[in-house]
Amino acid sequence: MDQQRIVLVSASPRRKELLRQIGLDFVVDPGGYEEELPRRSPSPHGLARRLSLEKARHAAGRHTKALLIAADTIVALDGRILGKPGSPPAAGRMLKALSGRAHLVVTGFTILDTGSGKSRTGSVETTVYLKKLSLEEINAYVGSGEPLDKAGAYGIQGLGAVIVDRIEGDYFNVVGLPLSALAGALKEFGVEVLGVE
């Protein structure tokens, strides 16, 4: 049987790097789904799964007989959803709120087979603890520009690594794709990342 075409529904360079890291052959569809994040969510897991499913469904009409992978990463502090800050002052406020505290990073993912209509949606949670940050450290990090396009105003895989004290859970989940859970789910669609039947 021919290997089904895999499509990553994401404009994220980090997600592209992660799929390449596990050796998947795929094409990219930036998606274009306009998400609207609520300020609070009773369930970051439910929200992340719903958004990933909506992203996959939004792209499904553009791909026949393909396996779509879509994801959405949510950062939550005390039940409040922290999206991308959008401006340096907003990034500074987010980092001040996260400083010295634990928060949740939840990535929802959906695999959708456009040929059969079969889909699988899941989510993974990681707890991230940021160091206690001085105002100077916050201003310096915001000044780097890195926080502006990141949910929660930091990137663990970049300069933001120096402000993370520790994590509990899947590191790759914080970057944008929980690779172990994703690989397990891909088996249900006949994709063996390690080539083991």
- Residues marked active site are found at 72
Residues constituting the chain: 197
